[in-house]
């Protein structure tokens, strides 16, 4: 007789694999580029990744500040 827990584990594993395949298929070229930079062993690539990460954090900080500032003064 088949264990119900084993069937459940297999189903979860199959769903997780399908989810990973969908995420990989939906990945944009920019996301692939950033992932390659992050995993690279080349010191320059790692430097570029950190610079892009800092630029992104500054951009998101400015955007959130503008949203917050607008919300405060709009009423």
Are 13 and 5 a contacting pair, CB within 8 Å? no
pTM above 0.85, yes or no: no
Residues 27, 30, 34, 36, CA torsion sign: positive
Are 46 and 40 a contacting pair, CB within 8 Å? yes
The pLDDT value given to residue 67: 97
Are 17 and 6 a contacting pair, CB within 8 Å? no
Which tokens belong to 17? Answer: 């694999």
- pLDDT tens-digit map of 16-54: 888 888 888 888 888 888 889 999 999 999 999 999 999
Reply yes or no on whether the pLDDT at 1 is more than 80.
no
Q: HSE-up of 74 (CA within 13 Å, CB side)? A: 6
């Amino acid at each position: 007789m088949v264990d119900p827990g084993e069937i459940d584990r297999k189903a979860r594993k199959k769903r997780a694999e399908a989810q990973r395949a969908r995420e990989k298929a939906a990945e944009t070229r920019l996301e692939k580029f950033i992932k390659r930079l992050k995993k690279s062993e080349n010191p320059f690539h790692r430097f570029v990744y950190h610079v892009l990460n800092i630029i992104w954090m500054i951009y998101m900080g400015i955007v959130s500040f503008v949203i917050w500032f607008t919300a405060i003064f709009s009423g």
